[in-house]
Structure 1
Amino acid sequence: MSYGQPLAYRMRPRSLEDLVGQQHIIGEDQALYQLIQKGHVPSMLLYGPPGVGKTSFANAIAQSTKLPFYSLNATTSGKKDIEQMIANARMEGSIILFLDEIHRFNKLQQDTLLPHVENGSIILIGATTENPFHDVNPAIRSRMGEIKQLKRLTAEDLFTLLNRALHDEERGLGKQRIHITKEQLQRIAESVNGDARKALTLLESAVRASDEDEEGTITVEDSLLDSLIGRIGVFGDKKGSHFYNLLSALQKSVRGSDVDAALYYLAHLLENGDLIAVNRRLLVMAYEDIGLANPDVGPHVLAATEAAIRLGLPEGRIPLAQAVVEMCLAEKSNSAYQSLDRAIAAIHDGKTGDIPDHLKDTHYVGATELGHGGYQYPHDTTIGTFGGWVNQQYLPDELKNSQFYRPIDAGKEVRLNKIYQYLQQLKNKSN
């Protein structure tokens, strides 16, 4: 049998009513839906992961209006393509231009197209999988009106879409006699991480790969579906926005002491295969979020990440899992780096001063003549079991009463806090 165009392409919506999901943007009660129904299409930027319907969204809008619709990809289009779009707009009055991968838009394309977007002769609908505030040029963003963030489709949305494709005789698989259970369709819907394109492709692959009996019925077997689902990728570009969102989610889950969530995001990241980026984030977390409350965690995580590099994947997941669980359940303190940030902020605010003379270098002839010296060696004066301490000024005069370190009572920092407070009392008593 000749299938022609892929099922995912054939099933693209032909009207706003055909769209599945994204009701927070294009539902009948939303302003955008009402605008388009009245014939007004604003320029807009569609942002979301692959397969959530950005291209379908643009096509549905185009089909719901009488305006001519053109499509370009910013990675392959040049100045001549943009000039052709401008010529089309002049001939036809106004056009809708869908520009996929808009974050790849170069300056030459911008300079050529932007005036026509500003005067409304070209209604620009841009699509990107990358965070538009990081990757889309501000000149483009400023002319796009609202940024519409599309969400991953739910399993329920995808089940609806798969059923529609299965029974559509014109564009789908409705002319074929296919035996596939609701449970199998649900498995497909739940296995593609909200990606409609992958769901439809998986359904089409399952049908193509299944045997047809003497009566012409195609039966999809569970074993075949297991094999196809095991081969699909659902994780996206490992250097895209979703990857960095996963890193962020991992750190916030560890910080929030949620072991199960942290392990889930670690698994997601490791399936992307970028071990270096994961290790780097885990090391930062050990010192940023665990810190002085449990100083042993830092060396433990360093050992785990070095072991993971030596082992490689998949074995490298074992020490990393141990490190993540330990960090989740460890006492937590960010006092050390927050204290340093206060000192940095003081410097940036101009709160600087001369180093006290008794702290300056004296390992050269003439230091005494410059007034440098008088430093008291703390090791010569012991206090209890702490070791050496002597009351002398270390900060410049302008900052001598500053307190950057603000300890908290968490884990092993409880002991450090007691020592800090004791030394502060000695200092205040001596002064």
Structure 2
Amino acid sequence: MNEPLAERIRPRTLEDYISQSHLVGETGSLTRQIKRGMIPSLILWGPPGTGKTTLANIIANESDRPFYTLSAISSGVKDVREVIDKAKKSGGLFTTKNPILFIDEIHRFSKSQQDSLLGAVEKGWVTLIGATTENPSFEVIPALLSRCQVYILNAFDKADMEALLHRAMEKDTVLSELNIDLRETEALLRLSGGDGRKLLNIFELVINSEAKDEVVITNDLVLQKVQNNIVRYDKTGEQHYDIVSAFIKSIRGSDPNGAVYWLARMIEGGEDVKFIARRMLILASEDIGVANPTALVIANNTFQAVTTIGYPESRIILSQCAIYLATSPKSNTAYMAINRAQAMVKQTGDLSVPLHLRNAPTKLMKELGYGEDYKYAHDYNQNFVNQEFLPGEIKGTSFYEPGNNSREQGMDEFIRKRWGDKYKRK
């Protein structure tokens, strides 16, 4: 059978759909809309192999609508218009049976291609479902994004992955005929990285390579078979995220040679320049941050430059940026600080803003004490005065912990000189 395992056991109903319970569980936000048949235009955003295409098909099936699909890689404006014309003839305007137009990898559509969708979405000729692995805020034009709801799909967790493997063994007509002893799953889960399709591809490869009715799946067997067949996986394009991961980790590890090598792999593979530049822009803040704020400026300028120039010249700009970031001092303190602050917000909820920090634009607010006792920093020596800026329930909490680099040590001295031991340090 030539059809891949992932396609053979693709779920057809919500009941069979594994993972994304926040969207399609019993109380999921999408479940309610699907059951009512009132499906808005939407963008499904998540990593590869998390069920975006499957979910789009299920939505169409459950709501009994005509379903049209396009791939952004191979479709142009002409293809979009032809599908829209078909959709107009097969459905009524603003009815619950409007045709669904599914566009895979919508982030690869150009501005003109996305513009060609606007009228059809706005007039109700189609309900658009777009799938993307990229942040739609960057890749979908604002006019189209404003007409769609964005739903985030998460990478499969361990329970989801194991459920997927057991479902494959039970439901697939080929595997169900075999005696498969799933003795160990760690290697399968690790190699797939939360990608359900990749998990099933590896699983099928290991089973087929054994060529016998009884297969004992162990970590050693999986690693051996995948290593021997690594070229097969290159052809599927699934190494895309492995290579960018190696690129980012090389920069984070301050190795310019590794960074340039993996950059070259992406360039030779025809990777989108904006994808590469955006990853470096994120890294400049996440992994370098306040240790060298200029890194963010360089990365942002790189993003702007390669967006304008494109290949082949942009390879030089990308290389310059990658080397600069790799040789910059590293700090993740800004990343960790906002993580701690968000965790505190989730834990403590909406704490009241202290009265002295509130604005008092009306007489009533002034009478209620808004803004009272606030000290204007510029009225004091060195433009500083000791006062509390956190809600009383969490006062003295330190979210920012200076890193061990020269710039942040200076920032640490600045903080200690002004605040002394006010903030708790780990």
Shorter-chain TM range is 0.5 to 0.7
Tell whether the 8 Å contact from 1:235 to 1:272 is kept in structure 2 after alignment.
no
TM-score, length-scaled by structure 2: 0.57
What is the correspondence of 1:123-142 to structure 2 with a 5 Å cutoff?
Answer: 123-142=127-146
Q: 1:147 to 1:239 in 2, by over 3 A?
A: farther
Q: Note the alpha carbon deviations across 1:229-260, whole angstroms, 9 max, x for none.
A: 454687744797x899x68xx99xxxxxxxxx
- Establish whether residue 27 from structure 1 lines up as the match of residue 29 from structure 2: no
- Equivalent residue, structure 1, for 2:89: 91
The aligned counterpart of 2:57 is 59
- In 1, Cα distance between equivalents of 2:412 and 2:208: 67
Does 2:157 align with 1:157?
A: no
**What's the CA shift string for 1:158-212, capped at 9, x where partnerless?**
1101111112144x521x31323242x3531343110001000011101110032
Matched, 1:199 2:224: no
Distance 1:173 1:106 in 2: 42
- The 5 Å alignment of 1:233-248 reads 236-237=240-241
Provide closer, same or farther for how the CA distance between residues 287 and 135 of structure 1 changes in structure 2, counting only shifts above 3 A. closer
Q: Are the counterparts in 2 of residues 46 and 54 from structure 1 also a CA contact under 8 Å?
A: yes
| Consecutive unaligned residues in structure 1, runs of 5 or more | 252-261, 293-319, 330-398, 422-431
* Local SS of the residue matching 1:180: strand
Q: Distance in 1 between matches of 2:41 and 2:54?
A: 16
Moved more, 154-163 or 229-238: 229-238
- Judged with a 3 Å threshold, the aligned counterparts in structure 2 of structure 1 residues 113 and 209 are, in CA distance, closer, same or farther, namely same
Does the alignment pair 1:273 with 2:262? Answer: yes
Contact 1:51 1:197 (C-alpha < 8 Å) held by counterparts: yes
Q: Note closer, same or farther for the CA distance 1:243–1:211 as it changes in structure 2 (3 Å cut).
A: closer
Which residue of 203, 214, 219 maps to 1:217? 214
2:175 corresponds to 1:173: yes
Which residue of 2 is the match for residue 110 of structure 1? 114
Q: Distance in 1 between matches of 2:332 and 2:88?
A: 61
Distance across 2 between alignment mates of 1:169 and 1:239: 32
Q: In structure 2, how many angstroms separate the alpha carbons of the residues matched to 1:14 and 1:47? A: 20
Alpha-carbon shift at residue 285 of structure 1 (Å): 8.3
Partner of 1:64: helix, strand, or coil? helix
Distance in 2, matches of 1:165 and 1:112, equals: 40
**In the aligned structure 1, how far is the partner of 2:171 from the partner of 2:87?**
35
Relative to structure 2, which stretch is displaced further, 9-18 or 85-94? 85-94
Aligned length: 297
Alpha-carbon contact 2:186-2:219 (below 8 Å) kept: no
Give runs of aligned pairs for residues 4-43 of structure 1, distance below 5 A.
4-43=2-41
Shift of 1:282: 8.4
Q: Given that residues 37 and 64 in structure 1 are in contact (C-alpha distance below 8 angstroms), is that contact kept between their aligned partners in structure 2?
A: yes
Q: TM-score scaled to structure 1, two decimals? A: 0.57
Contact between 2:56 and 2:102, CA under 8 Å: does it hold in 1? Answer: yes
Query: Which residue identity lines up with residue 86 of structure 2 in the other structure?
Result: N
Long gaps (5+) in structure 2: 92-97, 265-275, 294-325, 334-377, 386-400, 419-426
Write the distance in 1 (CA, Å) between the matches of 2:172 and 2:281. Answer: 52
Residues in 1 aligned to 2:68 and 2:281: alpha-carbon distance in whole angstroms: 43
Contact 2:103/2:130 (CA < 8 Å) preserved in 1? yes
Q: Is the 8 A contact 1:156 1:189 kept in 2?
A: no
- Contact kept, 8 Å, 2:5 with 2:200, in 1: the verdict is yes
Change (3 A) 1:122 1:282: closer
Which is richer in helix? 2
C-alpha distance 228-91 of structure 1, shift in aligned 2 (>3 A) = same
Equivalent residues of 1:99, 1:127 under 8 A apart: yes
Counterpart mapping for 1:44-83 below 5 A: 44-83=42-81
- 1:227 maps to 2:229: no
Say which SS state the counterpart of residue 97 (structure 1) adopts. strand
